Structure 1
Amino acid sequence: MINIGILGFGVVGSGVAEVIAMNREKLERHLEQPIQVKKILDVRDFEEGPFSGLLTKDSEEFFDDSDISVVVETIGGVGIAYEFTSRALKQGKSVVTSNKELVATHGVELLQLAKDNHCAYFFEAAVGGGIPIIRPLHRCLAANRITKIAGIVNGTTNYILTQMESSDMDFSAALSRAQLKGYAESNPSADIDGIDAQRKIAILSSIAMNGIYIDPDQIHTEGIKNISSEDMSYARALGAKIKLLAIYKSYKEGSCEIIVAPHLLDRSEPISVADGVFNAIAVDGNALGPSMFYGKGAGKLATASAVVADVLDAALHQSKNAHIMSWTHPQQTVVKPFEEMHVKALIRLKGDVDINKYRSLFPNMQIKPVVSAVRNETALVVGQEGTLTEKMLAEATSQIKEFIALIRVYN
């Protein structure tokens, strides 16, 4: 008998209990033994339901239950979730989580705790929700050097940007619609400021770097609050979409570039098909070439399905040291400073500007004029040759008195 304990009975936690109950017969065939949820720890009061008899508010009762072999952590955050995860791992109980903040912040030590106590710490649902990406990146693509990851990994911002594009809304109106639909929190800052995507690309980058831990705080991150209707007009004129992209690029010498920011994404790019709350992640390997993962990045049962898959994996390897990977802190910084990163950008200028007078600001670079999509504006694209850095771009735009805004171009 595999006994599961669930920490937190919110959207994902209750979804895990439902998926196990709904698909119990299939799960038991896979495991070749029975499986059940034994206890659920949550301090809140709940209405009577099918799992009411499993609920407890007593953490000691939960952790004293020696029958529980796999713990599902869906509390969120890095406070009590960190404390309870550490406690479970020290007891030799495998832990499965969808908590991206905890993994991105404390992944090194929690993976080591799992290794030391011969159990597992799995987090497939922490990045793609229901989209499988952690296991494929770590196992299926293990023979590759991962050269690039580019992902639309936040459903809230993708829904907002899709509404701005398709319904000609401004940011505030699109955010309000997302909140009415339940796609955005009442305080949406983690989503719209790019923090959620930052944590997710930090996790993926740590795996792509073969276990060299990438601190989220090292990743330059911008949100979508400054995206305007005018930006959307340029996207349409260029046959592109504006997406919040989380991008990782590796270099042979062992360094990498990582950024989270809105980008103009050409409609010919495979990941551009992800609209609304859908996510897409493109992964390039030096042997495989390009691949893509697509699907719902959030949602109760979609996320719970990924969590339960990890539960199965942990249960099947209880007698082995089944830690999925090890992470270590780097001896030296591997993430290139933001100022040194290469960039291609569309620059918007006020009025009818002769761009030739600014050619000296972009030496040895092509300046490509763009047909203006907005009245009384001039637009140009720079950085096509891959020689423009973020520092050079910032210095140049600071000297252009007609400068309005810029948006990066994915390439």
Structure 2
Amino acid sequence: MNCIDSVIRGGRVIDPKNEIDIIGDVAIHQGLIHSVGEGLQVTGKEEFNAEGCLVTPGLIDGHVHCYQYATPLGINPDERCLSRGVTTVVDAGSAGSSTFPGLRNFIAERSETRVLCFLHIAAHGLAAAGCSAGAPGGESDCLNQLDVTSCRDVLEQNRDMIVGVKARLSETIANQGENEQEVYRRAMEVGRLCKVPTMVHHTLSTVPTQGRTGDKRLCCPRDMAPGDIYTHTYHAFPSTIIDLETGNIHDDVIEARRKGVLFETGHGQGSFSWTVAEMCAKSSFWPDIIGTDLHSGNMDGPVYDLPRVMTKLLHLGMPLYDVISAVTVNTAKAIGKGGEIGSLSTGLEADVTVMKIEEIERELEDSQSQTRRVRQWFTPVAVWRKGKRHEITEPREIPNMAAMKMNAKDWPLLLVKDANPPSVLQGK
């Protein structure tokens, strides 16, 4: 038998890119995937017993904010992502054309985690902007910062790392809504010029979700292009994808998906509602991409990490194979990296995640502290990045009551919500 670096043995190997779902082994040698199969006849210097576990391509978080110290939202991707089984993160607009060099030099090149990014249409990115809900002032208050040429040029010069364009559509960060249509238009213009996806944040926005007869304004997601990514899919604020009169998903949203617009969770501190997600689950309106929108304001609740967001989708009824696809092959394909990451194909860098699905009884909160009792739970067990095994860590406290009390304050802003307020607002 051949002796190689590592063999992960006996787990349920799920690799949607290669249509693999077997009880088998994954072999790693010299930082690359060596082979995948049942009963591999190889010996590893390291032999890892994965019986009873899932073995998947390294998880990809399609939406984080990891420009640590340079932006208010930045987290450390190695501490908060790689140690939770995530081998690749896609920063969603923390940097713009004028601040991108720092993201490359100080974060991407110094992290064990692979760091890719969407470039913000605003030149300074999120250098001084916090979250949009109820926080007046933001990166798009002045249109002279939204320069199509500089955004395009920096993207073209850094295609190894920049995978698309980011725009945030919220009234309070775009001169009380006056600039939102132009933010949207300019971001999509760069996307078209560079032939990359535009990721659009659309909450508490003056940009309509559903078009109306005679209204010539751009709508979101209706006017997005095939391959563009609509984030914060399950939020319950104004601009929700739910028609308040019928309780159904807006027709324009359904049509956008039909034409090829992709939908991403973008859980975030404010943008995941159990109530909205359950309404969408009834129609099997699952996300194409499961991303966390992990940042400094939600890393200790309500997001915690990618496995916890995956847990919520599994609880809602999203099939396991689809959940794994949404954190591997789907994301890789959406950002134009389908041949490089998101699979266990022979010869690719050996990014591998091992997880257990544990039987558990635990409350999990949404972004405004509504809770549901989940009975299955993704727990990271081991992770390899470029063939090197890294330590796994766990959140300190779930649910985090301090975070729940803080996040419940946005309950009155929700248009779609449970009949009763969260228990933390009732003194329970």
Q: Which has more radius of gyration?
A: 1
Fold shared per TM-score above 0.5? no
- What TM-score do the two structures reach when normalised by structure 2? 0.28
Q: Which structure shows the higher helix fraction? A: 1
- What TM-score do the two structures reach when normalised by structure 1? 0.29
